[in-house]
Amino acid sequence: MHLMLIPPILLAAFAVTLAGLWLLDRRRLHLLPLAGAFAGFGAAILVQVLELPPQSAFSSVVSAHLYAAGAALLALGITWRSGRRGIPPPLLLLPVVMVATLAWFSYVDDRLLIRIYVLNFGLGLILLAGAWHARRLADGSLAERALFWLLLALALHFFPRTLLTAGNIGSRISDPASFGGTDFWVLTMYAGAVFGVVIGIALVLVTAADLMAGLQRERDTDALTGTLNRRGLDTRAAELLEQPAQRPIALVACDIDHFKAINDQFGHHAGDLVLERIGMLLRTSCRATDLVARIGGEEFVVVLPNSTAEEGFELAERLRRLVAETDVSRGPPVTCSFGVAQLHDLDRDVWAGLQRADRQLYAAKHAGRNRTIVEALDVAPLPPGTLLAMGGAPRLVAPALNRRQS
């Protein structure tokens, strides 16, 4: 009997661990149903082991409720971990049908064999539904893929186990007390506990990796604008430069015009609002593969893999117009100046190219602001309104863009 208490104790330990991890980071809501799942499975096993309540039919229904809740919560937690929100309808419908059927074959038509099939097949179907809705984990990290396949294996194992159960208990199937003491029932109990421990370990490891990744994101992200900070840009750009397939790489430097005047006239809260909204505009207007960072008080940079300086110019102009046409402050219209360069093959890091983009940025500032200057290119003629920098000195190649007035 004491050995039979080990599985629920282990499952309870995982429930407490996952709940504790949620307390460390309450944004990870998927940890709550996962903690509830392990608590539910542990309580269900405890009810079966201790035969609580003592009435056989009532005990069967109670344990069925706990198993169904545990399976549904496990499927829901892993589904939420995959990025999907809401409660998939099968995770509500299947447990209700399973428990209702078990109650019927416990009180109305007492059939132990049918209850075995309903319980095991029901749990398998609930977990299969969870695996289906969490299937995007199969394309995730190594830990996420392992978690998905463990969930799928747990779901599928209920079906052959049920057939083996029915085949091994034979004539004792009609005696519930005898069935609870069979070697196969004990083996089945421990098999479920082993699956629970393995999945519990996988969930703890995935959660620990999530927490580490979250801490790294916080370390590498500018809290005000949601863009990368200098450290984050260094890390991500170094990874980018190690991939030759990502070249050519265009670099865009952006600076908010007259930002000091905004702070002086309207206060630092207004200045923070401008920074926040421009950071949001940059992030939402760039590709997922682009690196957007805030590297100074009011200066941003964009690193564009698989892009030429001409394409960088096109993006900078699109961003310049977007900022000028968007109400990003409670004061006068806000504009930005841009400088564009392309990373050279001999550049050891991204900062060498950003220094050249920065020179074009300050040339744009001196040329009147709210405009884009791009480093000299061997490309087709650029669109009207472009300032082309030759050897670091800007040269007007078309009429300058008029500064937009509100």
Q: Which residue has the higher pLDDT, 177 or 229?
A: 229
- The active-site residue, picked from 144, 218, 276, 298, is 298
Q: Which residue has the higher pLDDT, 268 or 75?
A: 75
* CA Rg value for the chain: 31
Distance (Å, rounded) from C-alpha 58 to C-alpha 75? 26
Contacts of 183 (CB under 8 A, 6+ apart): none
Closest CA to 105 of 118, 95, 92: 118
Can you tell me the mean pLDDT for 383-405?
38
**Whether 375 is catalytic:** no
**Quick check: 396 pLDDT over 80?**
no
166 pLDDT tier (thresholds 50, 70, 90): low
Q: Which two tokens stand for residue 178?
A: 């005898």
**Quick check: 174 pLDDT over 70?**
no
Distance (Å, rounded) from C-alpha 355 to C-alpha 352? 5
Residue 148 identity: F
Can you tell me the mean pLDDT for 163-175?
57
**Quick check: 395 pLDDT over 70?**
no
One-letter-per-residue 3-state SS of 278-304: HHHHHHHHCCCCCEEEECCCCEEEEEE
Distance (Å, rounded) from C-alpha 406 to C-alpha 401? 15
User: pLDDT tens digit string along 252-299?
Assistant: 999 999 999 888 888 888 889 999 999 999 999 999 899 999 998 899
pLDDT at 181: 54
Find out if CATH 1.10.150.120 is the number for domain 230-396. Answer: no
Q: Which residues pair with 392 in a beta bridge?
A: none
Can you tell me the mean pLDDT for 389-404?
35
Can you tell me the mean pLDDT for 334-350?
89
**Quick check: 55 pLDDT over 80?**
no
**Quick check: 339 pLDDT over 60?**
yes
Secondary structure (3-state) at 303 = strand
**Quick check: 171 pLDDT over 50?**
no
Q: Which residues pair with 221 in a beta bridge?
A: 228
**Quick check: 400 pLDDT over 50?**
no
pLDDT at 390: 36
Mean pLDDT score of the chain, rounded to an integer?
A: 82
pLDDT at 75: 95
pLDDT at 100: 92
**Quick check: 153 pLDDT over 50?**
yes
359 pLDDT tier (thresholds 50, 70, 90): very high
User: pLDDT tens digit string along 3-21?
Assistant: 667 888 888 999 999 999 8
pLDDT at 144: 86
Distance (Å, rounded) from C-alpha 364 to C-alpha 371? 6
**Quick check: 205 pLDDT over 60?**
yes
Whether the ω angle into residue 53 lies within 30 degrees of 0, i.e. cis, is yes
Please state the separation of Cα 388 from the chain's center in Å.
42
**Quick check: 136 pLDDT over 50?**
yes
Closest CA to 71 of 33, 111, 107, 106: 33
The least confident of 74-83, 243-252, 344-353, 378-387 is 378-387
pLDDT at 121: 93
Map out the domains of the chain as residue ranges.
Answer: 3-220, 230-396
